[in-house]
Amino acid sequence: MSGLFGTDSARGINVAELSCETAMQAGRAAAELLAKGQGGKIVVAKDKKLSSDILEAAVCAGICSSGIDAETLGAVPAAAASFIVREHKASAGIMITGAAGASEGSGIRLFAADGYRLDERIRDDLEENVIARTGAPAQKKFDNIGRMLSCDSAAEEYISHICGLIDTDLSGMKVAVICGGGGAGLTAEELFTRLGAEVTLLTGRTSHAADFGPEATDIERLMDCVAGGDYCCGLAIGDDGGSCLAVDENGMAVDGDHLLAIFAKYFKENGRLKDDTLVINTLSGLGLLNFARDNGIRAVTSGAAGRSVIDRMLEGGYSLGGDRNGHVFFTDDSPCEDGQLCGARLLEIMKKTGRRLSELAGEMQRLPSISLNVRIADVSREVWKNDKDITDLIEWYQGEFGDTGRVVVRESSTSAPFVTIMIEGPDFSRINFIAVEIAERIKQRCGVRE
């Protein structure tokens, strides 16, 4: 088990073979490296999946066996766990995501004392500690054992926190909300109802997919619901509560790029956008970049990895950032991406401006785009970037577009390497031709040989 805390792992540890033993060693490593000598405690939260219970027990056993107290929050959204870590002055926090089935990985997400993700150096130390301990003889003598503490108010504290950030009564707004199978459904209905909205909560079957692809069954159900009822909008909250996508009053999907455009413009007009800057990742659309330029907003681009946006925000002291999949960061209000805060902010802007979501989202025009993936050989990892036949072709087409389009080619960091080609431009037939030609060139030069 290598790469437990890799840069592209949004959860920290996120592996299908996560065992109780590894979970216990992760808890022990977190206690010894993050809380030892501080006399503190570690907050432990989980989602609603069945295996989360035994993983929670294993993590807490590791923490307490190191002489540190473990405070369990029960099943709550990840954003709630992040908030409670800071609110309860804990030394660290652990969020457990259990496996829903044999084909899905379990995860352990770690929070520092300030609620943010851990520094990369600390993650590396934790990973080495976990790997070194896995398979080691069981501890037989316990000279100093921590206590198991229980917090029953985490969900209520989180809801009150979000309500305190929204200074607008949402009465008269009828909204449909759908949540995945994680912890978001435990708080979403109560949160939006307490803010004054009339809420219809739909039970989620799967987490929504990027760009509303064929697996996005929750989004499709939400679109049908909103289009068939008298709703001002619909909100799709991700499994762990970390993301939010929307549906306008006509049942049309509104992705993360549109949400970021709405937030950035509103915050800038109201003096709440630090340095008039929005942080996005490389996969955000050119339409958002054009919108930011036209509205006097500086767009800072981070890498495509899951952690890169928040890293860039903290580095520059910026207050708003996110990606097209609906992970939105409001660092003035939360150390974690928070889909329920995102949804509440959206409803607040709609209520204060008196504008429909279709009007707000329509201010950003998305360009036609296409994305293709090409499998490459293991020996070609990073090598294709220095292949002149490939790079010259990419540069040629980028030059053809100028400011009217763009060519983004990047390599994944998964175990099965592939290169993603994303093209945006005014003419779909042309960008389709270009994407296919670049894909064929990469396949010829670096593709997997059958």
In SS3 terms, 56-87 reads as HHHHHHHHHCCCCEEEEEEECCHHHHHHHHHH
Distance (Å, rounded) from C-alpha 118 to C-alpha 73? 20
Query: Would strands 148-150 and 69-75 be described as parallel, antiparallel, or unpaired?
Result: parallel
* pLDDT higher than 90, residue 203: no
* pLDDT higher than 50, residue 215: no
pLDDT averaged over every residue in the chain: 86
Residues 6+ apart with CB under 8 A from 218: 178, 180, 202, 204, 205, 206, 207, 208, 236
What's the maximum distance between 2 C-alpha atoms anywhere in the chain? Answer: 70
Residues 6+ apart with CB under 8 A from 94: 26, 27, 30, 42, 43, 44, 45, 59, 108, 109, 110, 111
Whether residue 399 contacts residue 393, with contact meaning beta carbons closer than 8 Å, is answered with: no
What are 103-135's pLDDT values in tens digits?
A: 455 678 889 999 998 877 787 788 787 877 666
Residue 97's DSSP bridge partners are 107
Whether residue 243 contacts residue 237, with contact meaning beta carbons closer than 8 Å, is answered with: yes
* pLDDT higher than 60, residue 87: yes
Residues of the chain with CATH 3.40.120.10: 13-152, 157-362
Q: Quick one: fold of 157-362?
A: Alpha-D-Glucose-1,6-Bisphosphate; Chain A, domain 3 (3.40.120)
Residue 102, Cβ density class (10 Å: 0-12 exposed, 13-18 middle, ≥19 buried): exposed
Residues of the chain with CATH 3.30.310.50: 369-446
Distance (Å, rounded) from C-alpha 195 to C-alpha 204? 22
pLDDT of residue 140: 54
pLDDT of residue 243: 92
Starting at the edge strand found earlier in the chain, the sheet holding 277-281 runs 298-302, 277-281, 320-322, 328-330
Q: Is 46 helix (H, G, I), strand (E, B) or coil?
A: strand
pLDDT of residue 135: 61
* pLDDT higher than 60, residue 206: no
Distance of CA 331 to the CA centre of its chain: 14
Helix H or strand E segment including 275: none
pLDDT of residue 138: 57
Distance (Å, rounded) from C-alpha 277 to C-alpha 259? 15
DSSP 290-317: HHHHHTT-EEEEE-SSTTHHHHHHHHHT
Distance (Å, rounded) from C-alpha 341 to C-alpha 350? 14
- Return the structure tokens found at 374: 């090409």
* pLDDT higher than 70, residue 56: yes
CA angle, 7 then 336 then 14, to 5°? 40
Distance (Å, rounded) from C-alpha 337 to C-alpha 349? 19
pLDDT of residue 20: 83
Whether residue 425 contacts residue 360, with contact meaning beta carbons closer than 8 Å, is answered with: no
Nearest CA to 239 out of 77, 116, 72, 61 is that of 77
Q: Calculate mean pLDDT across residues 7-31.
A: 66
Distance (Å, rounded) from C-alpha 197 to C-alpha 233? 11
* Residue 396: other Cβ atoms inside 10 A: 12
- Using 50, 70 and 90 to split pLDDT, how confident is the model at 415? low
For residue 225, report the phi and psi dihedrals to the nearest 5 degrees. -65, -50
Which one has a higher pLDDT value, 214 or 210?
Answer: 210
CA angle, 409 then 413 then 415, to 5°? 130
**CATH architecture of the domain with residue range 369-446:** 2-Layer Sandwich (3.30)
What are 341-399's pLDDT values in tens digits?
A: 999 999 999 999 999 999 999 999 989 999 999 998 888 888 888 899 999 999 999 99
Q: Quick one: fold of 13-152?
A: Alpha-D-Glucose-1,6-Bisphosphate; Chain A, domain 3 (3.40.120)
* pLDDT higher than 90, residue 222: yes
pLDDT of residue 91: 93
